[in-house]
Structure 1
Amino acid sequence: MEAYETEEQQVEAIKSWWKENGKAVVVGGVVGIGAILGWKYYQSAQIEAKDTASMSYEKTLTTLQASGAEAAESTQAFINANAKSEYATLAALQLAKVQVEAGQLDNAITQLNWIASNSKDESLIATAQIRIARIQAQQEEFDAALTTLETVKPASWAARVAEVKGDIALRQGDIATARSAYTEALQAGMNQAVQMKLDDLAE
């Protein structure tokens, strides 16, 4: 640091520095404050948007549970309006469920395919893929169902995939393959329900 002989020299040095750098300091301060305020506003807006989406989801779910497939149009409107939110994928999952119950299998597959393509949650994607395979098996599109099961990636879903493969084989009358698939599902950690299926196929 430079040494100044008098107080006046120090004052003049400060004035000179401020003249050269003052504008940048002020601008930097304003930008910094603006960034802080902007970030706080963004966070507040995000929280408000999530709260709004949550309340809207609850309302949509209540209507869907009360009206079933008749609420498809309003549910789809919610899905479209919140397409980037996981609330949309959850709503689509519930809509697919009531469409299956109403026998609208193709519509249900459309919803489940949308989930598989748009969700960022591996569990939701796997759930959708498993349900697509089950519907395809119900429609006796067995090859398509098995192909769909191949798209289920998480290793933690291996037991569920094996169980569905067993169900498909059983629908096709292939007892040996069904027994093998159920055994694989049990070894991968499936529950007593699969054991009962396997026991029913005992020779």
Structure 2
Amino acid sequence: MDGNITEEQQVEQIKAWWKENGKAVVLGAVIGLGGLTGWRYYQAEVQSAKEQASDAYTQVVSALESGSDNAVADMKAYISSHQSSQYSVLAALQLAKVQVEKGELDAAAEQLSWAIANTQDAAILPIAQTRLARIFAAQQDYDKALAELDKVTAESWKGKVAELKGDILLQKGDAIAAREAYVQAQQLGGSPALQIKLDDLAQ
């Protein structure tokens, strides 16, 4: 403001400015506070949903492990109702494990395929992929099993994948390719059992 105008004129200018801009200032403040409150409410709801999903996951897994009559149906219902949560992927892995133990390989493969398609966790993906490959191998669909293993790209899994490829190739009857896979796995730091597998092939 101009330093030469009187205090009374300054007051009048402030009044005029407020009259012209006051509503916008108040509205902006209200919107800002409302947005902050809304964001905090949203965050609280998200956290609450995560906690509820976690609690429900613990319950359905406990029921599944106890062999409850409705456990499988409850687990499927949980997966269906929490598809946007990674807990549903973990639930699918747990359900597939139980189904494998029961010999329900097709059902287990379906759960693992769903988990692979829906996980966003780089740590979970190779677990699901290798388990699915094992199921295909158990069904004697060896080419499908090997193709599934080719999808595993995690660096830390290379040794395990190479060893599993060797196992599958051996089941398929290709001892030469199995030995090559075992040697590769050994170079990548595979399991202590690799040398035994190689020794068996040498006999």
- Give me the TM-score of the superposition, normalised by structure 2: 0.94
Q: Larger deviation: 97-106 or 174-183?
A: 174-183
Q: Counterpart in 1 of 2:159?
A: 159
1:35-46 equivalences under 5 Å are 35-46=35-46
Following superposition of structure 1 onto structure 2, how do residues 168-183 of structure 1 map, counting pairs within 5 Å? 168-183=168-183
Report the CA distance between 1:195 and its aligned residue: 3.1
Moved over 6 A (4+): none
Question: So what's the TM-score if we normalise by structure 1?
Answer: 0.94
Q: Secondary structure at the match of 1:137?
A: helix
Q: Which residue of 1 aligns with 2:146?
A: 146
Tell me which moved more, 2-11 or 139-148.
2-11
Aligned to 1:99: 99
Q: What per-residue deviation string (whole Å, max 9, x for no partner) do you get for residues 89-130 of structure 1?
A: 000001000100000000000000001101001221211111
- Bigger shift: residues 186-195 or 41-50: 186-195
5 Å-filtered alignment, 1:180-199, equals: 180-199=180-199
Q: How does 1:2-81 map to 2 (within 5 A)?
A: 2-67=2-67, 71-81=71-81
Q: What amino acid is the match of 2:146? A: L
Cα distance between partner residues in 2 of 1:31 and 1:76: 43
How far residue 197 of structure 1 moved from its aligned partner, in angstroms, is 2.4
TM-fit CA distance, 1:70: 5.9
Aligned to 2:129: 129
TM superposition shift of 1:4: 4.5
Q: Any conservation in 2 of the 1:163–1:185 contact (CA below 8 Å)?
A: yes
| Matched letter for residue 138 of structure 1 | A
Q: What is aligned with 2:112? A: 112
**How far off its partner does 1:6 sit?**
1.2
Q: Give the CA deviation at 1:39.
A: 1.0
Q: How far 1:174 sits from its partner (Å)? A: 2.1
Percent of counterpart pairs with the same letter? Answer: 50
Query: How far has the Cα of 1:154 moved from its partner?
Result: 1.8
Aligned residues: 203
Matched position secondary structure for 2:5? coil
Work out the CA distance in 1 between the residues paired with 2:158 and 2:24: 61
Deviations 1:24-49 (CA, angstroms, capped at 9, x unpaired): 10000000100111111111111111
Distance 1:193 1:55 in 2: 39
